[in-house]
Amino acid sequence: MSGLLNAKVAEKPDEYKNVMIFLETRDGKIAKPALEMITAGSKLARDVNEKLIGVVMSDDVSSLSDEAGYYGCDIVIGLQSKALKEFRTLPYAAMFSDVIMEMKPNIVLVAATRNGRDMASRVAVRCRTGVAADCTEFEIDKKTRIMVGRKPSYGDSAFAEILCKDYRPQMATARPGTFIPPERDEKRKFQKDIRNVKIPDEFLGKEIVEFKPKKEMDLSSAKVIVSGGLGLGKPSGFKLIDELAKELNGQVGATRPVVDLGWISRDHQIGQTGQTVRPDIYIAAGISGSPQHTMGMKKSGIIISINSDPDAEINQISDYIITADLYTAIPKLLEEIRKRKGATVEEEIVKEAGTQKKVRSKKKKENEE
Protein backbone atom coordinates (compact mmCIF):
# COMPACT_ATOMS: atom_id res chain seq x y z
CA MET A 1 0.00 0.00 0.00
CA SER A 2 1.43 3.35 -1.02
CA GLY A 3 1.72 6.17 1.46
CA LEU A 4 -0.73 9.02 1.07
CA LEU A 5 0.59 12.03 -0.76
CA ASN A 6 -0.70 15.55 -0.96
CA ALA A 7 -1.02 17.43 -4.23
CA LYS A 8 2.21 19.14 -5.16
CA VAL A 9 2.69 22.70 -6.35
CA ALA A 10 5.00 22.80 -9.37
CA GLU A 11 8.17 24.62 -8.38
CA LYS A 12 9.15 25.46 -11.92
CA PRO A 13 6.00 25.69 -14.00
CA ASP A 14 8.02 27.13 -16.92
CA GLU A 15 9.73 23.78 -17.36
CA TYR A 16 6.42 22.29 -18.38
CA LYS A 17 5.84 22.64 -22.12
CA ASN A 18 3.54 21.27 -24.84
CA VAL A 19 0.13 19.69 -24.82
CA MET A 20 -0.16 15.94 -24.33
CA ILE A 21 -3.23 13.88 -25.17
CA PHE A 22 -4.17 10.29 -24.43
CA LEU A 23 -5.23 8.40 -27.54
CA GLU A 24 -7.73 5.77 -26.51
CA THR A 25 -8.12 2.93 -28.99
CA ARG A 26 -11.01 0.70 -29.96
CA ASP A 27 -10.72 -2.29 -32.27
CA GLY A 28 -7.18 -1.35 -33.22
CA LYS A 29 -8.14 2.17 -34.21
CA ILE A 30 -7.94 5.52 -32.49
CA ALA A 31 -11.34 6.09 -30.89
CA LYS A 32 -13.38 9.04 -32.16
CA PRO A 33 -13.39 10.85 -28.77
CA ALA A 34 -9.58 10.67 -28.85
CA LEU A 35 -9.52 12.21 -32.34
CA GLU A 36 -11.59 15.02 -30.88
CA MET A 37 -8.78 15.57 -28.36
CA ILE A 38 -6.42 16.17 -31.29
CA THR A 39 -8.68 19.05 -32.35
CA ALA A 40 -8.88 20.50 -28.84
CA GLY A 41 -5.21 19.90 -28.05
CA SER A 42 -3.70 21.23 -31.26
CA LYS A 43 -5.63 24.48 -30.88
CA LEU A 44 -4.20 24.98 -27.39
CA ALA A 45 -0.71 24.02 -28.57
CA ARG A 46 -0.81 26.37 -31.56
CA ASP A 47 -2.03 29.27 -29.43
CA VAL A 48 1.25 29.21 -27.51
CA ASN A 49 3.54 27.84 -30.25
CA GLU A 50 3.97 24.49 -28.64
CA LYS A 51 3.71 20.93 -29.85
CA LEU A 52 0.94 18.39 -29.59
CA ILE A 53 2.13 15.07 -28.20
CA GLY A 54 -0.13 12.05 -28.62
CA VAL A 55 0.37 8.97 -26.46
CA VAL A 56 -1.00 5.68 -27.74
CA MET A 57 -0.74 2.25 -26.10
CA SER A 58 -1.35 -1.24 -27.40
CA ASP A 59 0.37 -4.54 -28.12
CA ASP A 60 1.34 -3.23 -31.55
CA VAL A 61 1.36 0.51 -32.09
CA SER A 62 3.02 0.77 -35.49
CA SER A 63 -0.05 1.67 -37.55
CA LEU A 64 -1.78 3.41 -34.63
CA SER A 65 1.09 5.82 -34.23
CA ASP A 66 1.06 6.64 -37.96
CA GLU A 67 -2.65 7.33 -37.73
CA ALA A 68 -2.05 9.63 -34.76
CA GLY A 69 0.38 11.59 -36.92
CA TYR A 70 -1.92 11.69 -39.94
CA TYR A 71 -4.63 13.15 -37.74
CA GLY A 72 -2.41 15.93 -36.46
CA CYS A 73 -0.14 14.98 -33.56
CA ASP A 74 3.31 16.60 -33.90
CA ILE A 75 4.95 13.95 -31.76
CA VAL A 76 3.60 10.47 -31.23
CA ILE A 77 4.73 8.31 -28.33
CA GLY A 78 3.74 4.68 -28.85
CA LEU A 79 4.01 2.36 -25.87
CA GLN A 80 4.05 -1.27 -26.80
CA SER A 81 3.52 -4.33 -24.63
CA LYS A 82 1.37 -7.45 -24.70
CA ALA A 83 -0.10 -6.27 -21.39
CA LEU A 84 -1.33 -3.08 -23.09
CA LYS A 85 -3.39 -4.90 -25.73
CA GLU A 86 -6.61 -3.84 -24.11
CA PHE A 87 -7.35 -1.06 -21.70
CA ARG A 88 -6.77 -1.90 -18.07
CA THR A 89 -6.66 0.81 -15.44
CA LEU A 90 -3.40 0.18 -13.64
CA PRO A 91 -0.97 -0.52 -16.50
CA TYR A 92 -2.44 2.31 -18.58
CA ALA A 93 -2.48 4.81 -15.69
CA ALA A 94 1.06 3.88 -14.68
CA MET A 95 2.54 4.07 -18.19
CA PHE A 96 0.77 7.30 -19.06
CA SER A 97 1.88 8.87 -15.76
CA ASP A 98 5.48 7.83 -16.43
CA VAL A 99 5.43 9.55 -19.83
CA ILE A 100 3.91 12.66 -18.27
CA MET A 101 6.55 12.85 -15.56
CA GLU A 102 9.30 12.31 -18.11
CA MET A 103 8.12 14.79 -20.73
CA LYS A 104 6.57 17.38 -18.43
CA PRO A 105 3.73 18.66 -20.60
CA ASN A 106 2.04 21.90 -19.55
CA ILE A 107 -1.39 20.47 -20.39
CA VAL A 108 -2.77 16.93 -20.51
CA LEU A 109 -6.13 16.17 -22.12
CA VAL A 110 -8.06 12.91 -21.92
CA ALA A 111 -11.42 12.25 -23.56
CA ALA A 112 -14.02 11.72 -20.84
CA THR A 113 -15.09 8.30 -22.03
CA ARG A 114 -15.66 5.73 -19.30
CA ASN A 115 -12.15 4.34 -19.62
CA GLY A 116 -10.74 7.83 -20.04
CA ARG A 117 -12.23 9.03 -16.76
CA ASP A 118 -11.31 5.75 -15.10
CA MET A 119 -7.68 6.35 -15.96
CA ALA A 120 -7.44 10.14 -15.71
CA SER A 121 -8.51 10.18 -12.05
CA ARG A 122 -5.61 7.93 -11.15
CA VAL A 123 -3.10 9.67 -13.40
CA ALA A 124 -3.86 12.99 -11.70
CA VAL A 125 -3.18 11.48 -8.29
CA ARG A 126 0.00 9.77 -9.50
CA CYS A 127 1.22 13.08 -10.95
CA ARG A 128 -0.03 14.91 -7.86
CA THR A 129 -1.98 17.46 -9.83
CA GLY A 130 -5.55 18.58 -10.49
CA VAL A 131 -7.96 17.69 -13.22
CA ALA A 132 -10.82 19.75 -14.61
CA ALA A 133 -13.48 17.17 -15.40
CA ASP A 134 -15.81 16.91 -18.36
CA CYS A 135 -15.03 20.23 -20.03
CA THR A 136 -16.55 21.35 -23.31
CA GLU A 137 -14.37 24.41 -23.92
CA PHE A 138 -10.73 25.27 -23.37
CA GLU A 139 -8.81 28.46 -23.59
CA ILE A 140 -5.18 29.23 -22.86
CA ASP A 141 -3.73 32.51 -21.69
CA LYS A 142 -0.93 33.22 -24.16
CA LYS A 143 1.29 34.86 -21.57
CA THR A 144 0.86 32.72 -18.48
CA ARG A 145 0.04 29.54 -20.44
CA ILE A 146 -2.64 28.82 -17.86
CA MET A 147 -5.63 26.98 -19.24
CA VAL A 148 -9.26 27.63 -18.42
CA GLY A 149 -11.43 24.55 -18.67
CA ARG A 150 -15.12 25.24 -19.02
CA LYS A 151 -17.48 22.66 -17.67
CA PRO A 152 -21.22 23.00 -18.19
CA SER A 153 -22.89 23.04 -14.80
CA TYR A 154 -26.35 23.26 -13.34
CA GLY A 155 -28.12 21.72 -16.27
CA ASP A 156 -26.05 23.68 -18.76
CA SER A 157 -27.24 27.10 -17.71
CA ALA A 158 -23.69 28.19 -17.01
CA PHE A 159 -20.06 27.18 -17.32
CA ALA A 160 -17.89 26.62 -14.29
CA GLU A 161 -14.46 27.98 -15.21
CA ILE A 162 -11.83 25.72 -13.72
CA LEU A 163 -8.14 26.55 -13.40
CA CYS A 164 -5.16 24.61 -12.17
CA LYS A 165 -2.81 27.55 -11.62
CA ASP A 166 0.04 26.28 -9.52
CA TYR A 167 0.15 22.59 -10.33
CA ARG A 168 1.54 20.87 -13.42
CA PRO A 169 0.54 19.43 -15.70
CA GLN A 170 -2.83 21.12 -15.99
CA MET A 171 -5.05 18.13 -16.62
CA ALA A 172 -8.55 18.02 -18.02
CA THR A 173 -11.03 15.56 -19.41
CA ALA A 174 -13.31 16.61 -22.26
CA ARG A 175 -16.81 15.49 -22.99
CA PRO A 176 -17.06 13.26 -26.08
CA GLY A 177 -19.07 14.69 -28.94
CA THR A 178 -18.00 18.27 -28.25
CA PHE A 179 -15.12 18.77 -30.68
CA ILE A 180 -15.09 17.89 -34.35
CA PRO A 181 -12.39 15.34 -35.29
CA PRO A 182 -9.65 16.70 -37.59
CA GLU A 183 -9.12 15.70 -41.22
CA ARG A 184 -6.80 12.77 -41.82
CA ASP A 185 -3.84 13.69 -43.99
CA GLU A 186 -1.06 11.25 -44.84
CA LYS A 187 1.18 14.13 -45.90
CA ARG A 188 1.42 15.51 -42.40
CA LYS A 189 4.89 15.45 -40.87
CA PHE A 190 5.38 14.13 -37.38
CA GLN A 191 7.92 12.54 -35.07
CA LYS A 192 7.43 9.00 -33.95
CA ASP A 193 8.85 7.42 -30.83
CA ILE A 194 7.88 3.78 -30.36
CA ARG A 195 8.96 2.12 -27.15
CA ASN A 196 8.67 -1.44 -25.96
CA VAL A 197 7.77 -1.23 -22.30
CA LYS A 198 7.79 -3.73 -19.49
CA ILE A 199 4.77 -3.62 -17.20
CA PRO A 200 5.53 -4.53 -13.58
CA ASP A 201 3.49 -7.49 -12.28
CA GLU A 202 1.96 -5.37 -9.51
CA PHE A 203 -0.15 -3.59 -12.17
CA LEU A 204 -1.50 -6.79 -13.69
CA GLY A 205 -3.84 -7.95 -10.94
CA LYS A 206 -7.04 -7.33 -12.86
CA GLU A 207 -8.04 -9.85 -15.44
CA ILE A 208 -10.69 -9.36 -18.13
CA VAL A 209 -12.46 -12.71 -18.09
CA GLU A 210 -15.21 -11.95 -20.58
CA PHE A 211 -16.09 -9.29 -23.12
CA LYS A 212 -19.44 -8.92 -24.80
CA PRO A 213 -19.11 -6.34 -27.54
CA LYS A 214 -22.08 -4.25 -28.49
CA LYS A 215 -22.53 -2.13 -31.52
CA GLU A 216 -21.62 1.27 -30.32
CA MET A 217 -24.55 3.59 -30.48
CA ASP A 218 -22.50 6.54 -31.57
CA LEU A 219 -25.14 9.19 -31.59
CA SER A 220 -22.48 11.86 -31.65
CA SER A 221 -21.81 11.41 -35.37
CA ALA A 222 -25.45 11.18 -36.45
CA LYS A 223 -26.63 13.91 -38.83
CA VAL A 224 -30.25 13.47 -37.79
CA ILE A 225 -31.59 12.37 -34.42
CA VAL A 226 -35.21 11.75 -33.55
CA SER A 227 -35.76 11.49 -29.80
CA GLY A 228 -38.69 10.43 -27.71
CA GLY A 229 -39.64 11.30 -24.15
CA LEU A 230 -42.38 10.59 -21.65
CA GLY A 231 -44.91 12.23 -23.98
CA LEU A 232 -44.84 9.01 -26.01
CA GLY A 233 -47.02 7.59 -23.25
CA LYS A 234 -46.04 4.00 -23.96
CA PRO A 235 -42.92 2.00 -24.88
CA SER A 236 -44.28 1.08 -28.31
CA GLY A 237 -44.19 4.78 -29.20
CA PHE A 238 -40.54 4.26 -30.09
CA LYS A 239 -41.66 2.31 -33.17
CA LEU A 240 -42.92 5.54 -34.63
CA ILE A 241 -39.78 7.40 -33.56
CA ASP A 242 -37.70 4.70 -35.20
CA GLU A 243 -39.70 4.92 -38.41
CA LEU A 244 -39.13 8.67 -38.69
CA ALA A 245 -35.45 8.28 -37.83
CA LYS A 246 -35.00 5.62 -40.52
CA GLU A 247 -36.81 7.75 -43.09
CA LEU A 248 -34.36 10.58 -42.41
CA ASN A 249 -31.29 8.30 -42.26
CA GLY A 250 -30.98 9.22 -38.63
CA GLN A 251 -30.62 7.65 -35.21
CA VAL A 252 -32.99 7.30 -32.28
CA GLY A 253 -32.42 9.24 -29.07
CA ALA A 254 -34.25 9.27 -25.76
CA THR A 255 -34.58 11.15 -22.50
CA ARG A 256 -33.48 9.72 -19.21
CA PRO A 257 -36.98 9.05 -17.76
CA VAL A 258 -37.97 6.74 -20.62
CA VAL A 259 -34.63 4.95 -20.38
CA ASP A 260 -35.18 4.54 -16.65
CA LEU A 261 -38.62 3.09 -17.38
CA GLY A 262 -36.98 0.57 -19.67
CA TRP A 263 -38.76 1.74 -22.83
CA ILE A 264 -35.45 1.88 -24.70
CA SER A 265 -31.86 0.91 -23.92
CA ARG A 266 -29.52 3.27 -22.14
CA ASP A 267 -27.20 3.75 -25.11
CA HIS A 268 -29.89 5.95 -26.67
CA GLN A 269 -29.89 8.35 -23.73
CA ILE A 270 -29.07 11.97 -24.47
CA GLY A 271 -28.36 14.55 -21.80
CA GLN A 272 -26.46 15.09 -18.60
CA THR A 273 -25.95 11.43 -17.78
CA GLY A 274 -26.15 10.30 -21.39
CA GLN A 275 -24.48 11.35 -24.60
CA THR A 276 -23.90 14.82 -25.96
CA VAL A 277 -24.95 15.24 -29.56
CA ARG A 278 -24.91 17.97 -32.19
CA PRO A 279 -26.72 16.65 -35.26
CA ASP A 280 -27.84 18.90 -38.11
CA ILE A 281 -31.45 18.13 -37.23
CA TYR A 282 -32.78 17.17 -33.80
CA ILE A 283 -36.43 16.22 -33.53
CA ALA A 284 -37.74 16.11 -29.96
CA ALA A 285 -41.05 14.26 -29.78
CA GLY A 286 -42.96 14.24 -26.52
CA ILE A 287 -40.03 15.80 -24.71
CA SER A 288 -40.75 18.55 -22.22
CA GLY A 289 -37.19 19.88 -22.27
CA SER A 290 -35.69 19.57 -18.80
CA PRO A 291 -32.17 20.98 -18.51
CA GLN A 292 -30.88 17.45 -17.85
CA HIS A 293 -31.92 16.56 -21.38
CA THR A 294 -31.30 19.80 -23.24
CA MET A 295 -27.69 20.09 -22.12
CA GLY A 296 -27.00 17.08 -24.30
CA MET A 297 -28.60 18.42 -27.49
CA LYS A 298 -28.66 22.21 -27.30
CA LYS A 299 -25.90 22.59 -29.85
CA SER A 300 -27.85 20.82 -32.58
CA GLY A 301 -28.16 22.66 -35.90
CA ILE A 302 -31.94 22.77 -36.13
CA ILE A 303 -34.22 21.76 -33.29
CA ILE A 304 -37.79 20.71 -34.00
CA SER A 305 -40.16 20.06 -31.14
CA ILE A 306 -43.33 18.05 -31.41
CA ASN A 307 -45.38 18.51 -28.29
CA SER A 308 -49.06 18.85 -27.50
CA ASP A 309 -48.24 21.46 -24.86
CA PRO A 310 -47.80 24.84 -26.57
CA ASP A 311 -45.78 26.06 -23.61
CA ALA A 312 -43.41 23.09 -23.34
CA GLU A 313 -40.00 24.23 -22.15
CA ILE A 314 -38.33 22.64 -25.17
CA ASN A 315 -40.06 25.21 -27.39
CA GLN A 316 -37.79 27.92 -26.03
CA ILE A 317 -34.79 26.33 -27.71
CA SER A 318 -36.59 25.15 -30.84
CA ASP A 319 -36.36 26.53 -34.37
CA TYR A 320 -39.58 24.85 -35.40
CA ILE A 321 -42.43 24.15 -33.02
CA ILE A 322 -45.14 21.70 -33.92
CA THR A 323 -47.93 21.92 -31.39
CA ALA A 324 -49.85 18.71 -31.95
CA ASP A 325 -50.30 15.18 -30.75
CA LEU A 326 -47.19 13.34 -31.88
CA TYR A 327 -49.19 10.31 -32.95
CA THR A 328 -50.92 12.52 -35.51
CA ALA A 329 -47.98 14.76 -36.35
CA ILE A 330 -45.30 12.13 -36.99
CA PRO A 331 -47.37 10.05 -39.48
CA LYS A 332 -48.27 13.30 -41.25
CA LEU A 333 -44.63 14.35 -41.31
CA LEU A 334 -43.65 10.92 -42.66
CA GLU A 335 -46.26 11.24 -45.36
CA GLU A 336 -45.02 14.68 -46.43
CA ILE A 337 -41.40 13.55 -46.45
CA ARG A 338 -42.18 10.42 -48.45
CA LYS A 339 -44.18 12.43 -51.00
CA ARG A 340 -41.18 14.64 -51.63
CA LYS A 341 -38.71 11.79 -51.53
CA GLY A 342 -40.70 9.95 -54.19
CA ALA A 343 -40.57 13.11 -56.28
CA THR A 344 -36.81 13.51 -55.95
CA VAL A 345 -36.08 9.94 -56.87
CA GLU A 346 -38.35 10.17 -59.92
CA GLU A 347 -36.70 13.40 -61.00
CA GLU A 348 -33.28 11.88 -60.71
CA ILE A 349 -34.34 8.88 -62.72
CA VAL A 350 -35.73 11.07 -65.43
CA LYS A 351 -32.73 13.41 -65.49
CA GLU A 352 -30.09 10.75 -65.36
CA ALA A 353 -31.71 7.96 -67.27
CA GLY A 354 -29.38 5.00 -67.28
CA THR A 355 -27.51 6.06 -64.18
CA GLN A 356 -30.08 4.61 -61.81
CA LYS A 357 -27.57 2.17 -60.45
CA LYS A 358 -25.29 5.00 -59.49
CA VAL A 359 -28.05 6.83 -57.67
CA ARG A 360 -28.96 3.74 -55.75
CA SER A 361 -25.42 2.88 -54.79
CA LYS A 362 -24.89 6.43 -53.65
CA LYS A 363 -27.95 6.21 -51.43
CA LYS A 364 -26.70 2.93 -50.09
CA LYS A 365 -23.37 4.44 -49.24
CA GLU A 366 -25.06 7.24 -47.34
CA ASN A 367 -27.03 4.70 -45.40
CA GLU A 368 -23.89 2.92 -44.39
CA GLU A 369 -22.33 6.06 -43.14
Partner 1 sequence: MALEIICLIKQVPDSNEVEIDPVTFTLKRATARNVINPSDENALEAALRIKDKNDAKITVISMGPPFADVAILEAMARGGDRGILITDRAFAGADTYPTGLTLAAAINKIGKFDIIFAGEESTDASTGHVGPGVAEFLGIEQASYTSNSWFENGYVYADRELEYGTETVKMKPPCLITVLTNSNIPRNATLRRKIDAQRKGVETWTLKDLDLKPEWVGKSGSPTVVQGMKGIMEKKREGKRYGIDDLGKLVDEMISSGVLKL
Footprint (CB under 8 A) of partner 1, residues 47-86:
none
Q: Does 7 sit near partner 1 (CB under 8 A)? A: yes
How many residues bind to partner 1 according to rule CB under 8 A?
A: 91
Q: Does 369 sit near partner 1 (CB under 8 A)? A: no
Nearer to partner 1, 39 or 323 (CB): 323
Q: Does 167 sit near partner 1 (CB under 8 A)? A: yes
Cβ atoms 67, 183 nearer than 8 A: no
Give the Cα-Cα-Cα angle 14, 136, 94 (nearest 5 degrees).
Answer: 55
Cβ atoms 303, 326 nearer than 8 A: no
Q: Does 350 sit near partner 1 (CB under 8 A)? A: no
DSSP 8-class letter at 141: -
CB of 201: closest distance to partner 1 in angstroms? 13
Q: Does 332 sit near partner 1 (CB under 8 A)? A: yes
Which positions from 210 through 239 interact with partner 1, judged by CB under 8 A?
A: 210-214, 216, 218
CB of 4: closest distance to partner 1 in angstroms? 5
49: left (phi over 0), alpha (psi -120 to 50) or beta: left
Q: Does 114 sit near partner 1 (CB under 8 A)? A: yes
Which positions from 144 through 163 interact with partner 1, judged by CB under 8 A?
A: 148, 150, 152-163
Cβ atoms 232, 238 nearer than 8 A: yes
Nearer to partner 1, 117 or 192 (CB): 117
CB of 186: closest distance to partner 1 in angstroms? 26
Residue 306 to residue 310: CA distance in whole angstroms = 9
Which positions from 248 through 277 interact with partner 1, judged by CB under 8 A?
A: 248, 260, 267, 272-273
The only residue of 183, 209, 353, 369 in contact with partner 1, by rule CB under 8 A: 209
Q: Does 206 sit near partner 1 (CB under 8 A)? A: yes
Among the listed ranges 11-19, 43-51, 64-72, 294-302, the one in contact with partner 1 (CB under 8 A) is 294-302
Q: 211-229 burial string, b = 16+ CB within 10 Å, else e?
A: eeeeeebebbebebbbbbb
Nearer to partner 1, 1 or 353 (CB): 1
Q: ω into residue 182 within 30 of 0, thus cis?
A: no
Cβ atoms 108, 97 nearer than 8 A: no
Residue 246 to residue 221: CA distance in whole angstroms = 15
Nearer to partner 1, 189 or 214 (CB): 214
Contacts of 62 (CB under 8 A, 6+ apart): 78, 194
Q: Does 344 sit near partner 1 (CB under 8 A)? A: yes
Q: Does 359 sit near partner 1 (CB under 8 A)? A: no
267: left (phi over 0), alpha (psi -120 to 50) or beta: alpha
Nearer to partner 1, 332 or 360 (CB): 332
